[in-house]
Structure 1
Amino acid sequence: MAEPREGALDDATIAARIAAEIPAWRYEDGWIRRTYKTASWKSTLMVINTVGHLAEAAWHHPDLTASYAWVEVRLMNHAAKGITDKDFALARKIEEVVSWQPGLEGAGLEGTPTDPRFAYVKYDK
């Protein structure tokens, strides 16, 4: 493999950090990736808009692919031509926000109902 550019992490570091920080993500074809399964097109658009807001606020722009019931998020630092700390920071924030289940916190927010008409993300847990 070619030497990573300045700021880009090597494959072993990427694999270790994925396992430790964002285990639902994977490293493939030079990108860190995560596919979120959703309940419907409406939910897919909500995930896309959430990722878009976080990425724009962080001034880092992922590639997205979407279909009726899923969204794939791909991160890679284009300037560094590889994975950097910036990719991991954004991936952690996306994971935190999209995977948030308020009903599990026991606070005042109950989360989305289990009724399929109101379903949102298909949570891993």
Structure 2
Amino acid sequence: MAGSREDALDDTTISERLAAELPAWTYEDGWIRRTYKTAGWKSTLMVINTVGHLAEAAWHHPDLTASYAWVEVRLMNHAAKGITDKDFALAKKIEEVVGWQPGTEGQGLEGTPTDARFAYIKYDK
């Protein structure tokens, strides 16, 4: 199920696209990366599993580092030895799903309570 090899994007293109498309992500040491802050270990595991599901479905796998209350996601296309469109596509999907705040959409889903016993992601907004 291997796809065709993609060309790595240049540093300027990566920086411009991150600013325009994924402002919470950074480019450092050859990776695009994002750290998600969580309310604790249970939430951290849920983020890891969510990212894992999306990565496996996409067949494009990030490197993850985790601690009690955070998960760092790092993406780089190993075959291309750099950042490609695949990295941006998966980062956008991760951002969309992990950053989803149903309580702000007004569609009947109230979102995670603010009570510390039920806290989940520490949203940027």
SS of residue matched to 1:15: helix
**Other-structure match for 2:116:** 116
What does residue 64 of structure 1 align with? 64
Aligned partner of 2:24 in structure 1 is 24
Gaps of at least 5 residues in structure 2 are: none
Q: Distance in 2 between matches of 1:6 and 1:76?
A: 12
Q: Per-residue CA shift, 1:61-108, capped at 9, x if unaligned?
A: 000000000000000000000000000000000000000000000011
How many residues end up aligned between the 2 structures? Answer: 121
Counterpart residue number, 1:35: 35
SS of 2:88 mapped into structure 1: helix
Normalising by structure 1, what TM-score?
Answer: 0.95
Cα distance in 1, alignment partners of residues 34 and 104 from structure 2 = 22
Consecutive unaligned residues in structure 1, runs of 5 or more: none
SS of 1:52's equivalent in the other structure is: helix
Aligned-partner SS, 1:34: strand
Residue identity matched to 2:23: P
Distance 2:121 2:81 in 1: 31
Identity %: 88
User: Counterpart amino acid of 2:76?
Assistant: M
The code of the aligned residue for 2:74 comes to R
Give structure 1 regions of 4+ aligned residues with deviation exceeding 3 angstroms: none
Counterpart of 2:72, as a letter, is E
